[in-house]
Amino acid sequence: MRALIFAIAMLAATATSAAPQWMTLPPTPTLPAPDKSGLVPVNGVKLWYAEFGRGEPVLFVHGGLGNSDYWAHQVRALRDKYRVIVMDSRGHGRSSRNAQPFGYDLMASDVIGLLDTLKIRKVALVGWSDGAIVGLDIAMHHPERLSKLFAFAANIDPTGVSDIRHSPVFTAFIARAGKEYGRLSPTPRQYDKFVAQITRMWNTQPRWTKADFARIRTPTWIVDGDHDEAINHDQPRTMADWTPGAGLLIEPDVSHFAFLQDPERFNRDLVHFLERR
């Protein structure tokens, strides 16, 4: 009996001491085998993409320092009903970069170039962090290319970003991103140069106003985690208020990495959004 009581006590102590979900960084999942993949020349670089399934097209655009593998849980959830496309943004993952300065307008043009190559006139875009900013940029300047926009963890301007230097989750992510860059990139030893190049963009962009968001007519959800380490908590509410007809969704007990921390909830919310008419 004492042994049983001790075991129960130990289990309770372990459960109590376990880190909350939003303080974890689950492993980067692996993409399933694609139906089609390759490198596409766009704007002086080569962009890697992969496709899965058939149906209405849905494009996933990852966040800064990340790569398409981070969307693997979402690909598996959607590929039976949708034509799911993932892409590695310029300089990220398997895609190349050049000396041209990073900018969200340029990255939005990359997305449009990829869609043109794949002969996709209009797509539902799911973006995380930088990917969400790219999606918003397209909604502002090229609305004819988007059917819907699910924008997770974006910011309005550089002042909307929190100091992540003391976040253990972000520290772990940055270390992981460096290893993944070395494994995937066509320039595996240039991670520091790549980070310096993209940091210049983060320090100065985006710089949007209420008028910029007022231009958006694409059906949009502004989404974030309630414990996002990187995005100030006023940002999603302000963006949703400024975007005509936008929905606002704050997912509970998750952070900037909600799609890894609670993929079932994230996928359920995403599917609900995509199925709305």
Q: Which pLDDT score is estimated for 5?
A: 35
* pLDDT score recorded for residue 84: 99
Number of domains in the chain: 1
The residues with which 46 forms a beta bridge, in sequence order, are: 41
Helical pair 104-117 and 130-141, crossing angle rounded to 10 deg: 80
The Cα–Cα gap between 263 and 218 comes to 25
What are the percentages of helix, strand and coil residues in the chain, rounded to 5?
Answer: 45, 20, 40
Give the bridge partners for 204, in sequence order: none
In a domain, residue 14? The reply is: no
Q: Helices 191-202 and 168-184 sit at what angle, rounded to 10 degrees?
A: 130
Q: What type of residue is 14?
A: T
Enclosing H/E stretch for 265: helix 263-275
**32 burial level (CB within 10 Å; 0-12, 13-18, 19+):** middle
* Average pLDDT of the residues of the chain: 94
246 contacts 240 by C-beta, under 8 angstroms? yes
Give the pLDDT confidence of 12-51 residue by residue, as tens digits: 333 334 899 999 999 999 999 999 999 999 999 999 999 9
Report if residue 2 sits inside a domain: no
Instruction: Report how far residue 86's alpha carbon sits from residue 94's, in angstroms, rounded to the nearest whole number.
Output: 12
Question: Is 3 inside a domain boundary?
Answer: no
Q: What is the pLDDT of residues 66-104, one digit of tens each?
A: 999 999 999 999 999 999 999 999 999 999 999 999 999
Residue 277 pLDDT: 81
Positions of the chain with pLDDT lower than 50, given as ranges = 1-17
For tokens 């794949």, what's the residue? 118
Any residues with CB less than 8 A from the CB of 126 and at least 6 apart, and which? 58, 59, 60, 61, 71, 74, 135, 150, 152, 270
Report the CATH number that the domain containing residue 56 is assigned in CATH: 3.40.50.1820
**pLDDT for the residue numbered 220:** 98
Using DSSP, state whether 7 is helix, strand or coil: helix
Residue-level pLDDT at 83: 98
Tokens of 95: 């895609």
Q: Is residue 140 part of a domain?
A: yes
Report if residue 258 sits inside a domain: yes
Assigned domain for 256 exists: yes
Single-letter amino acid, residue 269: D
Q: Is residue 15 part of a domain?
A: no
Closest CA to 60 of 43, 45, 76: 76
Q: Look up residue 158 and give its DSSP letter.
A: G
Residue at 55 is within a domain = yes
Which runs of consecutive H residues, i.e. helices, occur in 119-253? 130-141, 168-184, 191-202, 210-214, 234-242
For the stretch 194-207, what's the b/e string if a residue is b when 16 or more beta carbons lie within 10 angstroms of its beta carbon?
A: bbebbeebeeebbe
**pTM, whole model, 2 decimals?**
0.94
Residue numbers of the domain that contains 183:
37-275
